[in-house]
Amino acid sequence: MIDALFYLVLNNEEKNTQEIIKIGEKILSECTINSYRYQAIEILSFVYARVLQDFEKAEEYAKMAPHLHATYNALAMHTLQGEEAIKHYQDNIVKLVNLIIMNIDFYRSKLEDKESQSHSLEKMLKFYELLYEDGDFYFCCLEYVKMARYARQIICRQTR
């Protein structure tokens, strides 16, 4: 059910907004499975912010989510052993770099001047290059990579 809600939200199914909210709130009030509750919080915060433009309500739901350092991803670093721990660390690095890139992109979208936007895109590309040293990062966000490469060309032209 959670996946269906995400699909509706991400595909701008505005006509289903009230039903999505109703289901999300029902999950929060009745469900005891934390992973479902956190996904409902994510959906509700997203719907209120992006679809309904009710940022106060979106923030209310966002504050219900656990702090970054209280998530399974952070806490399991102390509990896992051996190969399982190594795999977990690798997954965390990918998730954290993608979170940083997403934050840079949100920041970039608020900038007005093209030079600052280009600089932000260049930073995003550097994070991808850090994470995927072999340059094989096309699968993860091709549009970001295209924008960042374009930004690099602009920056190179400006410095000549």
Which of 65, 84, 109 lies at the terminal end of a domain, its last residue?
65
Domain boundary among 21, 47, 65: 65
Residue 7 has pLDDT above 80, yes or no: no
Question: Based on the domain organization, do 58 and 95 belong to the same domain?
Answer: no
Q: Which range of residues forms the domain containing residue 21? A: 2-65
Mean pLDDT of 15-37: 89
Shared domain for 55 and 83, answered yes or no, is no
Is the domain of 154 the same as that of 120?
yes
d(CA 38, CA 28): 9
> Which pLDDT tens digit goes with each residue over 33-65?
998 899 899 989 988 988 889 999 999 999 999
- My answer on whether 106 and 142 are in the same domain is yes
Q: Quote the Cα angle for 146-122-94, to 5°.
A: 80
pLDDT, tens digit (0-9, with 9 covering 90-100), for 89-123: 888 888 888 788 888 888 888 877 877 877 787 78
Q: How far from chain centre, in Å, is Cα 72?
A: 17
Tokens (6 digits) for 7: 């699909």
Same domain, 93 and 58: no
> Quick check: 79 pLDDT over 70?
yes
Based on the fold, state whether residues 75 and 152 are members of the same structural domain. Answer: yes
How many distinct structural domains can be found in the chain?
2
Are residue 122 and residue 140 in the same domain, yes or no?
A: yes
Same domain for 150 and 76, yes or no, is: yes
Instruction: Please say whether the dihedral angle defined by the alpha carbons of residues 140, 143, 144 and 147, taken in this order, is positive or negative.
Output: positive
Regarding whether 45 and 19 lie in a shared domain, the answer is yes
Q: What global pTM score does this model have?
A: 0.65
Q: Which of 19, 39, 65 is the last residue in one of the domains?
A: 65
Cα distances (Å, whole numbers) of residue 90 to 48, 95, 123, 130? 33, 9, 21, 13
- Provide the pLDDT for residue 51: 85
Same structural domain for residues 49 and 6?
yes
More confident position, 131 or 146? 131
